[in-house]
Amino acid sequence: LAPTAGSDRAPVFLVGFPRSGTALLNQVLAAHPDIQVLEEKTTLSVVRDHLLARGDDFPANLFDIPEAELAPLRALYYQAVDRLVTRGPDTLLVDKLPLNILDAGLIHRLFPDAGFILAQRHPCDVCLDCFTHPFALSEGAAHFTRLDDTVGFYEQVMSLWQTQRETLALNVHEVRHEDLVAGHEQTARKLLEFLGVSWDDGILAPLDAANGVAMPAGRWRTFEIHMAPYQQHLRPFLKGFGYADGGT
């Protein structure tokens, strides 16, 4: 991953639909001495709110923002980061907030060299878990009070992601939760290669601890009768994300 202007290296953004395995990935990355994880902080919203307050047609004008204005916007982002953590001079910053996936275009505009780690998990398991998980009340969690709303929100979010990924040619590394749990060292090594950091055995500790307690694969099959009406909606994502049609 290339550096941004100055001495700052572009952050990496850990994104994904909720309940896709970002929490385990967070633990793995945080265990590496050369990686600094910013967990569940709305740093990017500072930039978004600033652009919205200007009243100049954001986000429609996102790619019309002059290049000269991008450095001050990046500074706003880093100011928000620095209010929360002290950045190490030689560490890679990973900003972990799953629904930053909705702002992939803004991230790419601010940091053209930014990498994205996409946490991926079987869409049926994701939707079922979001519907049944006791989330604290929030704007995002409001979509998870009904199963049909949950599936609808998944469709919207992941369709937007696919469009932005293809249109902007984003630098993305996908990590399947199922693969991370089942063959974790090989999957972890590929992740660290993407990030450009050396191997460290310490990252295996969270994976070993998660063995047997990680989110199970194929849990949705226990509730297949309830998921059946939504298979048609999720089929494009099952195929697009490389999962067998209807399988685990």
Please list the pLDDT of the chain residue by residue as tens digits (248 residues).
433 333 468 999 999 999 999 999 999 999 999 999 999 999 999 999 999 999 888 999 999 999 999 999 999 999 999 999 999 888 999 999 999 999 999 999 999 999 999 999 999 999 999 998 887 777 777 888 899 999 999 999 999 999 999 999 999 999 999 988 887 789 999 999 999 999 999 999 988 887 665 676 788 888 888 888 998 899 999 999 988 754 45
Distance between CA atoms of residues 235 and 231, nearest Å: 6
Q: Is the pTM of this model over 0.85?
A: yes
Alpha carbon separation from 103 to 45, 56, 100, 164, 193 (Å, rounded): 9, 18, 5, 9, 25
Distance between CA atoms of residues 135 and 140, nearest Å: 9
Helix H or strand E segment including 88: none
Distance between CA atoms of residues 103 and 99, nearest Å: 8
Dihedral class, residue 16 (left if φ above 0, else alpha if ψ from -120 to 50, else beta)? left
What phi and psi values does residue 58 have, to the nearest 5 degrees?
-75, 135
How many Cα atoms sit within 13 Å of 118 on the Cβ side? Answer: 17
Length of the chain, in residues: 248
Look at the block and give the residue holding tokens 């519907």.
Answer: 131
What single DSSP character describes residue 175? E
Crossing angle (nearest 10°) for helices 231-240 and 123-132:
130
